[in-house]
Structure 1
Amino acid sequence: MTAKTAKERAIAPLETPTDLKADATKDIAAALTTLLADMFALYVKTKNFHWHVSGPHFRDYHLLLDDQATEIFAATDPIAERVRKIGGTTLRSIGEISRIQRLLDNDAPYVTPTDMLAELRDDNKQLTASLRELHELCDEKNDVATASLIENWIDEAERRVWFLFEATRNTQ
């Protein structure tokens, strides 16, 4: 390897070879990065509520939210790695997350347990809708691998919605 080649490699952009078209890589990487920001926002909100839940169902809600936070966090690495696999770059900071996340934070000093679960249920429903839109984009751009991953994340989000819905039903 010549010195010039080594220098060129040192400053080369982070472009992973892919057979996807350039516009597909750009569009899907951007959408996945926004999804990643939403996942981190949802993870932090779920942990926030996990830490601050109170009341007669404390133990059940505390464990439910911890399980859900773990599942949400587990999706973050595959999302970021998928962006890199298709030749894109992804999040670099908490500041970037806060600039592009679509899910709202909740900094309230007190939230009732029922409101916590309802808010997370709605956030997960919003996430599911975003995942479906991203799946459509992947279908349009012929990115079968990303679409396949998204199908699993949709199923996980729908399961979270279901559990949160059932935990807040008034059955009396």
Structure 2
Amino acid sequence: MGKSAASDRVRRPLATPSDLSNDATRDVSAALNGLLADSFALYMKTKNFHWHVSGPHFRDYHLLFEEQAAEILASTDEIAERVRKIGGTTLRSIGHVSRTQRVEDNDADYVDPKDMLAELHEDNKDFAARLREAHGLCDEHDDVGTASLLEELLDQTEKRAWFLFEAGRSQVGHA
């Protein structure tokens, strides 16, 4: 018992007790880590556009992107802490984010503001769909706590998509 018990302590120092099954912890943690990677990628893209927006609607878009980036960044801690609460482990590096993210980066030197709005709108719509998918997984595993968090994040994401859509629609009329 001495060696086995000692090696278990060394091997699993981050094990958090949970009433969820091991399968639920594994599956939900994986889904949440995908959402966490997407959140970091979406945050970085939104900040990129915030820093590089130009043109007649500069102030409005600059502030919109800043507000949305702050909201996205705040959600990363909620997602990561939920992973830990249910007994999982989170992303550990930028490389881990890069390998896991589904949001495509935009490294272009210049992006037209209307394209920024459209791209972020689509990214947020896609993120909303992935939140719904993860919610379904939570329902399968009876993980009400994670489902509740995802519902809050879905509402925030849909609001971001709506604002981006409306801002992009108004720019078309003033182009």
Aligned partner of residue 91 in structure 1, secondary structure: coil
Question: Could you tell me how far 1:20 is from its partner in structure 2?
Answer: 0.5
Q: Deviations over 1:74-105 (max 9, x none)?
A: 00001001001101001000001000100100
The gaps in structure 1 that reach 5 residues or longer are: none
Aligned Cα root-mean-square deviation (Å): 1.8
One-letter amino acid matched to 1:28: V
Question: Could you tell me how far 1:14 is from its partner in structure 2?
Answer: 1.7
Aligned partner of residue 134 in structure 2, secondary structure: helix
User: What does 1:8-157 correspond to in 2, within 5 Å?
Assistant: 9-157=9-157
TM-score normalised to structure 2 length: 0.92
What CA distance in whole angstroms lies between the structure 2 residues aligned with 1:162 and 1:80? 26
One-letter amino acid matched to 1:45: K
The gaps in structure 2 that reach 5 residues or longer are: none
- Of all paired residues, the percent bearing the same amino acid is 66
One-letter amino acid matched to 2:40: F
Q: Which residue of 2 aligns with 1:163?
A: 163
Question: Could you tell me how far 1:10 is from its partner in structure 2?
Answer: 4.5
Q: Deviations over 1:116-140 (max 9, x none)?
A: 0100000000000000000000011
TM-score normalised to structure 1 length: 0.94
